[in-house]
Amino acid sequence: MGKDSNNTGFDYFTVISARVFDFVWAVSSAVIAFYFRFATVEVSIHYQSLILMGAVLVSLCSSFFGVYASWRGRRKVGLIARIFLAWAIAVGILLALLVFSHQADYFSRMWLGTWILGGTLGSAVFRVVVYKALGNLRTRGINHKRVLVVGAGNSARSVIASLKHNAWIGFDIVQIVPVDAAELSDPYQGISVGGEISDISSMVEAKDIQEVWICLPLRKGEEVDRILYSLRHSTANIRYVPDLSDFRLLNHKVSDIAGIQVLDLSCSPLSGANQYIKSLEDRLLGFIIFVCISPMLLLIAIGVKLSSPGPILFKQYRHGIDGKPINVYKFRSMEVHEEVEGVVTQATVNDSRITRLGAFLRKTSLDELPQFFNVIQGKMSIVGPRPHALAHNEYYKEIVESYMKRHKVKPGITGWAQVNGLRGETDTIDKMQKRVEFDLFYIENWSLILDLKIIFLTVYKGFINKNAY
Q: How many CB atoms sit inside 10 A of residue 262's CB?
A: 12
Give the lowest-confidence range in 56-65, 79-88, 347-356: 347-356
The amino acid occupying position 244 is: L
Mean per-residue pLDDT, 313-341: 83
145-246 is a CATH 1.20.1730.10 domain? no
CA 200 to chain centre: 36
Beta strands in 151-303 (DSSP E): 171-177, 211-214, 237-240, 254-257, 260-263
pLDDT tens string 95-134: 999 988 888 888 999 999 999 999 999 999 998 888 777 7
pLDDT of residue 404: 85
Say if residues 439 and 415 touch (Cβ distance below 8 Å): yes
Task: Give, as one character, the DSSP assignment of residue 177.
Answer: E
Residue 174, sorted as left (phi over 0), alpha (psi -120 to 50) or beta, turns out to be alpha
| Residues 354, 356: Cα–Cα separation, whole Å | 7
pLDDT of residue 1: 38
Task: Give, as one character, the DSSP assignment of residue 463.
Answer: S
Mean per-residue pLDDT, 209-222: 84
Say if residues 428 and 399 touch (Cβ distance below 8 Å): no
State the angle between helix axes of 76-100 and 109-139 in degrees (0 to 180), rounded to the nearest 10. Answer: 160
What is the pairing mode between strands 211-214 and 145-150?
parallel
Give the lowest-confidence range in 19-28, 242-251, 264-273, 316-325: 242-251
Q: Would you place residue 145 in the very low, low, confident or very high pLDDT band (cuts 50, 70, 90)? A: confident
| Residues 453, 463: Cα–Cα separation, whole Å | 15
Q: Would you place residue 296 in the very low, low, confident or very high pLDDT band (cuts 50, 70, 90)? A: very high
The residues spanned by each domain of the chain are 2-139, 145-246, 273-461
Give the lowest-confidence range in 18-32, 37-51, 157-171, 218-232: 157-171
pLDDT of residue 71: 62
Say if residues 212 and 204 touch (Cβ distance below 8 Å): yes
What is the pairing mode between strands 381-383 and 412-414?
parallel
Q: Would you place residue 29 in the very low, low, confident or very high pLDDT band (cuts 50, 70, 90)? A: very high
Query: Mean pLDDT for the chain?
Result: 82
pLDDT of residue 48: 93
Task: Give, as one character, the DSSP assignment of residue 371.
Answer: H
245 vs 361, more confident: 361
Q: Would you place residue 246 in the very low, low, confident or very high pLDDT band (cuts 50, 70, 90)? A: low
Going from the C-alpha of 247 to that of each of 65, 242, 263, 406, the distances in angstroms are 32, 11, 13, 16
Give the lowest-confidence range in 129-138, 310-319, 351-360: 129-138
419: nearest Cα among 369, 382, 394, 374: 382
Burial of 342 (0-12, 13-18, 19+ CB in 10 A): exposed
**CA atoms in the 13 A half-sphere facing the CB of 193:** 19
| Residues 203, 207: Cα–Cα separation, whole Å | 6
Mean per-residue pLDDT, 432-459: 89
Say if residues 198 and 230 touch (Cβ distance below 8 Å): yes
pLDDT of residue 197: 80
Mean per-residue pLDDT, 59-73: 81
Which of 166-170, 172-176, 177-181, 383-387 is the most confident on average?
Answer: 383-387
Say if residues 89 and 63 touch (Cβ distance below 8 Å): no
pLDDT tens string 187-204: 555 677 777 888 888 888
Burial string for 103-117 (b: 16+ CB within 10 Å, else e) reads eeeeeeeebbebbbe
